[in-house]
Amino acid sequence: RKYTPVVLTIAFFICTVPWAFGPDVGRYWMLNGLIFMVIACPCALTISTPVTYSAGLAATAQRGIIIKGGNRLEALGNVKTVLLDKTGTITTGKFALSHLELIGERRSRKEVLELLSLMEAPSSHPLSACLVSAAKEEGVTMADKVSLRDHTILKGEGVSANVDGKQVYVGNERLFNRIGMYNISTEEVEAAKEWSEEGGTVGYIGIEGVGIIGMFCVKDTIRDEAEAVISFLQQSGIEVIMLTGDGDGAAQAVGKEIGLTESCIKSQLLPEDKLHYVSSLKGSSTNNHASISGKKKLILMVGDGVNDAPALSVADVGVAMGEGASLAMEMSDVTLMDSNLSKLLFSMNMGQKVIKTVKENIATACLVNLVAVVLTFMGKMTLLWAIISDVGVMLLVTLNGMKLLSSRTIARIEQKTPKEKKSMLPRSKTKRKGGQRYSRTLSEDRNDDDGVEMGNMENETSTSRTKRKDGQKYNMTLSEDGDDEMDNLEIV
């Protein structure tokens, strides 16, 4: 709105005022005025940004990353803080029931599993699916003649419903504290604490007027790429914070495993708590607007569930996991279709590359135009060369923007992400040493040398195998240095 009027005004005066000094002077400056208008045409400046945005969006879409617009892609390159939900984001969201303990003798294990299955079946939370599946694995199904009414999801706490005229609750400690039903023994409290410190999510089932009749623990697995992604972000100077509604014990256990300090872990958060936390971070930021300068000042939130949707909508950039709730994907700006956190790094690196490319295009267009204007006023520029320079720089910035689609550029961007992005699990090989077979894991730099660690992928200290001695079969372990430990052999 300002550039074009200014250029036209300058060109108008160049074309008209010199006529007052004679026809020859007027004709000379009339030509220069036309040349100036051609050179100052903002075609290159106008096309440089959308072409770059389109190329960047296409490159990310080819890798399963859906970004809703070029401004969101640019914002990804300006992120200074990344907030990660725990369940379904840092972890896979695929729970397994690890503990189920009855409290009192008021219900049998089968009755508790029936009630859990009945209460959790209507819910879409991954934890609910785990409990229903665990009941089926033990041959327990929902009773057909049971009346279930007023099933309610209590955000951040659990579920409640009326079963055969009795109010039943399934949820976390916060829920039972709120309703005044958390009345378990000291031993059971200690057991729950221990389960939580092991990284499990502890829940309870209770009946109004009866009390808590059972407690359970479900465990989730951390995504293979999570630790590498978080480490890379931290090394890049980006602050990483984990937000979760789980208890402090489970949150700290997961945080420790992925390399987060205690100050970077926020636990026991309700959906509105996450919303307020994101809002407070945005309010404290000195510059929370995307800028072509590339300064990282924005807040990025990654989540997958309905509980994360409010925080995703408030964050400068909301990123949803493709395996999560549809509401989260609708409220987000970016969706990782295969729910791989490494794709988050790719999209952020692509955002930074887009910013750099746009700056290159603007600088190139301005420099070429400046040289052409100088030559014009020196009398060295013709109208034909002015047209050639204008079209030429427009094609130049277009090709420079389209380079984001090239395999070479993509490879360079992918090199900035951790090596685990292609194969998240370590590659194991089998090797013989001293007549024995050893399973080993190649180190991160893939050097096949003596420094390779022995053992399985999760516990790399030792691995067990069977060996015969004096006609008997024995279980033995291979120590880290490859020596057989024959002490206390267990006869098979």
CB 159 within 8 A of CB 176: no
What distance separates the 2 farthest-apart alpha carbons in the chain? 118
The residues that bridge with 467 in the sheet, in sequence order, are 474
Pair 318, 332: CB distance under 8 Å? yes
Residues 6+ apart with CB under 8 A from 233: 82, 240, 345
Location of structure tokens 């309700």: 270
Q: Could you give the strand order of the β-sheet that contains 453-454, starting from the edge strand earlier in sequence?
A: 428-433, 436-441, 453-454
Q: Which two tokens stand for residue 381?
A: 């520029």
Specify the residue for token string 């959906």.
271
Distance CA 83, CA 45 (A): 35
Cα 337 vs. chain centroid, distance in angstroms?
11
Rounded distance between C-alpha atoms, residue 50 and residue 305, angstroms: 33
Q: Which amino acid is at 396?
A: L
Could you tell me which residues come within 8 angstroms of residue 162 by beta carbon, excluding any fewer than 6 positions away? Answer: 147, 148, 149, 150, 168
Question: What residues are paired with 320 via a beta bridge?
Answer: 303, 335
d(CA 137, CA 180): 33
* 85 catalytic residue (yes or no): yes
Name the catalytic one among 85, 220, 246, 304. Answer: 85
Residues taking part in catalysis: 85
